[in-house]
Amino acid sequence: MNRFIGLTVGFSLLFVFIHLLSIELFVRKIMIPQDPVIMKQNALVEQMESIEVIGIGDSHTECALICTNKVLFNYGRGGDPAPLMYFKTKFALTHAKNIHTVLLQLDYHQFSDFRTNVDPGVIHFVSIIDEDVKELFGYPRLSKKNSIILYSLKKNYAPIVHKSIYQYLRGSLRPIEAHTAKWSDVSELKRNEFAKKVVDIQINSPNIMNTTLLFWYEKTIRFIQSSHVQVVLVRYPLSSEYLDAMDTDAEQEFNQLVSRLQNSYNCCVLDYHRLFYYRRDLFFNQDHVNFTGGTFISHTILNDIDTLTNK
């Protein structure tokens, strides 16, 4: 009987060990190399000698900047709030010494209370967060940084590792593809419905200007300028449905902010937020351009930067 119990316990422990080892290998060999955060950071370091212009922002930047050469680098990511934009800017300017211009996204939703709800993805950037964000919940504290040796037990991988294995076995764990859908193919009723829902969540709230988010945004501007790099504030294109759904007071408040930032920091603002007002075919949803729209706006931005630089 004791021998049976011993064998049962032994095989159980062996099974657990093999299971943990398999998961750890999967995370190291498959998940980490395909992690968009890791991929972008590695690409930035690899291209650091050639990068001259870099885009910092959330999904609006991520979709709008199409990099056709190594001069322009897209460091945007969906959901990135103002504090994370600050840390990514520090990381970029520390590694890529030839950057002369930072395209810092400037959009309505970046300062609303909506952006204080940090998505779990912020943990992916734990290695570059070198200051405490005490005012907001969800950011890793410097005193409590994850020191676990096993990658499969880290906070950014552990909750999704089994689902990722399942997706990998099904062949659906692939890099994100470019958005080619057209907003114009969606019915007018659905377009207005989707746009209003998003605007109500992101902007039409009692407090559109969260002072903490604004503090970190301005801190980013000051850091860029202290690094003797040109900062250009960019308002990316938005669909007519999105713009029409906005509260007038919110838009007026935001426009005042744009003027204040421009005057306080003597920086340029490239305003494209109404550029595609009548071009629904250049969006894939209410507030993100598709690949065609991104290609157009990227070309426009680079031309405008050349004009600014040569003045």
Domain of 228, CATH number, reads 3.40.50.1110
Please report whether residue 173 resides in a domain. Answer: no
d(CA 93, CA 76): 15
Amino acid 130 reads D
57-80: average pLDDT? 90
Query: Between helices 211-226 and 82-95, what is the axis angle to 10°?
Result: 10
H helix or E strand, kind and range, residue 101: strand 101-105
Instruction: Give the number of domains in the chain.
Output: 1
181-191: average pLDDT? 92
From 49-63, 154-168, 273-287, the region with the lowest mean pLDDT: 154-168
Q: Cα 80 vs. chain centroid, distance in angstroms?
A: 4
**β-pair partners for 230:** 101
Tens-place pLDDT, residues 231-240: 999 999 999 9
d(CA 195, CA 40): 30
Which tokens go with 142?
A: 């410097």
**C-alpha count within 13 angstroms, C-beta hemisphere, residue 157:** 26
d(CA 140, CA 128): 11
Please report whether residue 14 resides in a domain. Answer: no
Q: DSSP readout, 137-206?
A: TTSPPGGG----S-GGGSTTTGGGHHHHHHHHHHT---PPPPP---GGGS-HHHHHHHHHHHHHHHTSSS
Please report whether residue 163 resides in a domain. Answer: no
Please report whether residue 7 resides in a domain. Answer: no
d(CA 119, CA 79): 7
Answer yes or no: is pLDDT of 174 > 60. Answer: no
Q: DSSP readout, 55-67?
A: EESSHHHHHH---
Please report whether residue 85 resides in a domain. Answer: yes
Tens-place pLDDT, residues 118-151: 666 677 777 788 888 877 766 766 655 555 566 6
Answer yes or no: is pLDDT of 47 > 60. Answer: yes
Please report whether residue 16 resides in a domain. Answer: no
Find out whether 290 and 284 touch, Cβ atoms under 8 Å.
yes
Question: Which residue in this structure is represented by tokens 């890529």?
Answer: 96
pTM: 0.84
Find out whether 82 and 74 touch, Cβ atoms under 8 Å.
no
Answer yes or no: is pLDDT of 71 > 80. Answer: yes
Answer yes or no: is pLDDT of 274 > 70. Answer: yes
Which tokens go with 39?
A: 């991929």
298-307: average pLDDT? 92
**β-pair partners for 104:** 56, 233
271-291: average pLDDT? 95
From 41-45, 80-84, 193-197, 242-246, the region with the lowest mean pLDDT: 41-45
Please report whether residue 287 resides in a domain. Answer: yes
From 25-29, 66-70, 195-199, 212-216, the region with the lowest mean pLDDT: 25-29
What band does 153 get if pLDDT is binned at 50, 70 and 90?
A: low
pLDDT of residue 304: 93
Average pLDDT, the chain: 84
Among residues of the chain, what percentage have pLDDT more than 70? 78
Answer yes or no: is pLDDT of 307 > 60. Answer: yes
Domain residues for the domain of 216 are: 39-145+180-309
Please report whether residue 24 resides in a domain. Answer: no
Task: Quote the Cα angle for 225-228-231, to 5°.
Answer: 45
pLDDT of residue 171: 62
